[in-house]
Amino acid sequence: ADPTSIPFVTWTLDDGLPMPVIGDLINPILSLGRHVITVTAELASGEIDTDTVTVTVVDTQPPDVFAAFVDEKTGQEITQASSRDKVSTVVNATDDCDLEPTITAVVGVSANNGSVFTFDKSRKALSLKSTSDEEDAILSVIATDSSGNVATENVELRIIQ
């Protein structure tokens, strides 16, 4: 090939510093939003050719959500517990575009007509008097990323009296 025809090719992202193109591809890392990529080829003869493309990056993927009931003694995830067991919840969400998605978590119990709830402020406890030998607690988690994508996770815990 004629050495005068081999171009020197650079690319810029959003009017930044020119970067050399190595091979046939450029691999910019783009954040969410609108970006302008300009590729410039300069021949040894001085002829310059430029091409520009506008790219808009949008986040359409919801966060990944994890929710679990955990036995306080063992640290293990559980799906069943006795009314005497100490149980905690673990909730988290991850997202490729949002490092801190908003998480809302609610624990609820099934209640029948006539169920009696007792709040003990000194122990920061809620108890339920039930006529059934088994109840279910439900942990519902909603995660929303900064783009408005929403994911939910529901976990059930069978409580044996």
pLDDT digits (tens, 9 = 90+) for 7-63: 788 999 998 999 988 878 888 889 999 999 999 998 888 889 999 999 999 999 999
Q: Which residues pair with 13 in a beta bridge?
A: 37
Chain center to CA of 57 = 17
Q: Are 38 and 52 in contact (CB under 8 A)?
A: yes
Over 80: is that where the pLDDT of 79 sits? yes
How many other C-beta atoms are found inside a 10 Å radius of the C-beta of residue 104?
A: 11
Q: How confident is the model at residue 112 (pLDDT cuts 50, 70, 90)?
A: low
Rounded Cα distance between 147 and 88, Å, is 30
pTM value is: 0.70
Confidence (pLDDT) at 102: 97
Percent of the chain with pLDDT over 70: 81
